[in-house]
Chain A
Amino acid sequence: MDVFLQTIVAGVLKGGLYALIGIGMTLIMGVMGIINLAHGQLMMLAMYVTFVLSLMGVDPYIALFIAMPLLFMLGVAIQKFLLNPLIKAETILPENQVLMTVGIGMVLTEIVRFIFTSDYKSVTTTYSERTIFLGNISFSVALMIAFVIALAFTGVMFWFLLKTDLGRSIRATAQDKDAATLMGVNTGRITVITFGLGSGLVAAAGCLLAPVYYVFPDLGGPFTAKAFIITILGGLGSTVGAIFGGVTLGLAESLGATYFGMEYEDIVGLTIFILVLLFLPGGFKRLTKV
Chain B
Amino acid sequence: MKRNLYPLIFLGVVLGLPLVMRDNYYLHLMILFLMWVVIGSAWNLIAGYTGQVSFGDAAFFGCGAYTAGLLSHHLGVSPWWGLAFGGFIAAAVGLPFGWICFRMRGAYFALATLALNEVLRQVATIAEKFTGGMVGILIMPSFTSKIPYYYIALGMAVASIASLRWVVHSKPGYYFVSIREDQDAAESLGINTHLYKMLSLAYAAFWTGIAGALYMNYMGFIDPHVVFSLHDISIMAILVGIVGGVGTVYGPAVGAFLMVTVQEMFRSGFFGLFQWLGALSGSESLAKVAVVLTQAHVLGFGILVVVVILVLPNGIVGDWPKIRKRVFRLDAGA
Contacts and interface: CB of A to CB of B under 8 A. Distances in A.
Interface of A: 33-35, 82, 85-86, 89-96, 98-100, 102-107, 109-111, 113-114, 221, 225, 228, 232, 263-264, 266-267, 270, 273-274, 277-278, 281
Nearest to A270: B119
A270 B246 CA distance: 30
Contacts of A91: 246, 313-314
A226 to B, nearest CB: 11
Contacts of A104: 302, 306
A110 B51 contact: no
A92 B51 contact: yes
Nearest to B297: A110
A263 B231 CA distance: 22
A66 to B, nearest CB: 25
Nearest to A271: B119
B139 interface: no
Given A92-B51, A281-B103, 7 more contacts: A34-B107, A35-B111, A86-B309, A91-B246, A94-B106, A110-B302, A114-B295
Given A86-B309, A103-B305, A103-B306, A98 B247 contact: no
Interface of B: 47-48, 51, 53, 55, 100-101, 103-104, 106-107, 110-112, 114-115, 118-119, 122-123, 125-126, 180, 230-231, 235, 238, 242, 246-247, 295-296, 298-299, 301-306, 309-310, 313-314, 318
B122 A266 contact: yes
Please provide the 8 A-B residue pairs with the shortest distance between their CB atoms, ordered closest to farther. Answer: A103-B305, A106-B302, A110-B299, A91-B313, A107-B302, A103-B306, A95-B53, A89-B313
Contacts of A266: 118, 122
Given A91-B314, A114-B295, A98 B107 contact: yes
A104 B301 CA distance: 11
Decide if the interface of chain A is mainly helix, strand, loop or mixed: helix
B303 A95 contact: no
30 contacts: A85-B310, A86-B309, A90-B314, A93-B47, A93-B48, A93-B313, A94-B106, A95-B106, A98-B110, A99-B238, A100-B306, A100-B310, A102-B235, A104-B306, A106-B298, A106-B301, A106-B302, A106-B305, A107-B299, A107-B305, A109-B298, A113-B299, A114-B296, A225-B118, A267-B122, A267-B126, A274-B115, A277-B101, A277-B104, A281-B103
B323 to A, nearest CB: 15
A82 B247 CA distance: 24
Contact of A110 (B123, B298, B318): B298
Contacts of B115: 225, 270, 273-274
A34 B122 CA distance: 26
A102 B305 CA distance: 8
Nearest to B305: A103
